[in-house]
Amino acid sequence: MSDFEGLRALVTGGASGIGRAAAELLAERGARVAVLDLDPSPADKPLLAHRADVTDDASVREAVAAAVAGLGGLDVLVNNAGIGAQGTVEDNPDDEWHRVYDVNVLGMVRTTRACLPHLRASAQAAIVNTCSIAATAGLPQRALYSATKGAVYSLTLAMAADHVREGIRVNCVNPGTVDTPWVGRLLDAAPDPAAERAALEARQPTGRLVSAAEVAGAIAYLASPLSGATTGTALAVDGGMQGLRLRPV
């Protein structure tokens, strides 16, 4: 697919799960890709790896500068780094709210701020944010996480509006339950991980979890000129969860 040839992309949280699958897919299709992560491990594909913490503005600015120098510019930012949180509003103290917001929301703000000057110089600039069906689905036991993803959704729309005349498209993907190390950790914490996985799969409209590669496909589409007229949208990659109005529990 020549639509990715020559694109220069930066993927945050690109060392694991969805971010890693997106980085590998973009590289496979001909993009030059840099990964920004807390601990970027070596990947099979030729990815440039930069260590940074999205909660630390200086480390983000340094890593973005190094990545852009290595890539020779920047066309695509995939804002994907994120962490989870369980519980109702009664379950998490203020400092936990601040901690998760700092990664999931401010992390995107910091990275975007550092990347915008470089994206403005691109002829086909795109930002793809990893949001979640939690942004709009009203999931039980996910108050804090849902609130951060609601903010990511609003931020996606606001950024799309602010930068549309600069030629920078901004969209998000809304994954459902994706089979990543993150979900693996949650399942492993259950008394019977295999039974918990089977129950989780049974609750999916498709009877299976979404794969990281399937979310990566949606990210790659929104990152490429194939979606050149698309900005300010959320693309669900949830096995029909939202469209069919079903709820994961």
Q: Residues with catalytic annotation?
A: 145
Residues in the chain, overall count: 249
Q: Assess contact for 110 and 62: CB atoms under 8 A.
A: no
Q: Examine residue 55 and tell whether it contacts ligand NAD (CB under 6 A).
A: yes
User: Which of the stretches 16-24, 114-122, 159-167, 199-207 binds ligand NAD when contact is defined by CB under 6 A?
Assistant: 16-24
Q: Please check whether residue 212 is in contact with residue 171, taking contact to mean a CB–CB distance below 8 angstroms.
A: no
Cα atoms in the Cβ-side hemisphere of radius 13 Å centred on 240: 7
Compute the distance between CA of residue 223 and CA of residue 127 in angstroms, rounded to an integer: 7
**DSSP output for 151-166:** HHHHHHHHHHHHHGGG
Q: Which residues pair with 129 in a beta bridge?
A: 79, 172
Q: Which is nearer to ligand NAD, 3 or 159 (CB)?
A: 159
25, 63, 103, 114: which one contacts ligand NAD (CB under 6 A)?
103
The one among 132, 146, 156, 231 contacting ligand NAD by CB under 6 A? 132
Q: Between 122 and 211, whose beta carbon lies closer to ligand NAD?
A: 211
With binding defined as CB under 6 A, does residue 171 bind ligand NAD?
no
Figure out which of the listed residues 9, 10, 11, 18 binds ligand NAD, where binding follows CB under 6 A.
18
53 binds ligand NAD (CB under 6 A): yes
* Minimum CB–partner distance for residue 91 and ligand NAD (Å): 18
Q: Does 155 bind ligand NAD (CB under 6 A)?
A: no
Q: How many CA atoms lie within 13 A of 17 on its CB side?
A: 20
111 binds ligand NAD (CB under 6 A): no
The CA distance from 230 to 218, in Å, is 13
> Beta strand pairing status for 210-211 and 168-175?
unpaired
Please report, as ranges, the residues that interact with ligand NAD according to CB under 6 A. 12-13, 15-19, 37-38, 53-55, 80-83, 103, 107, 130, 132, 175, 177-178, 180-183
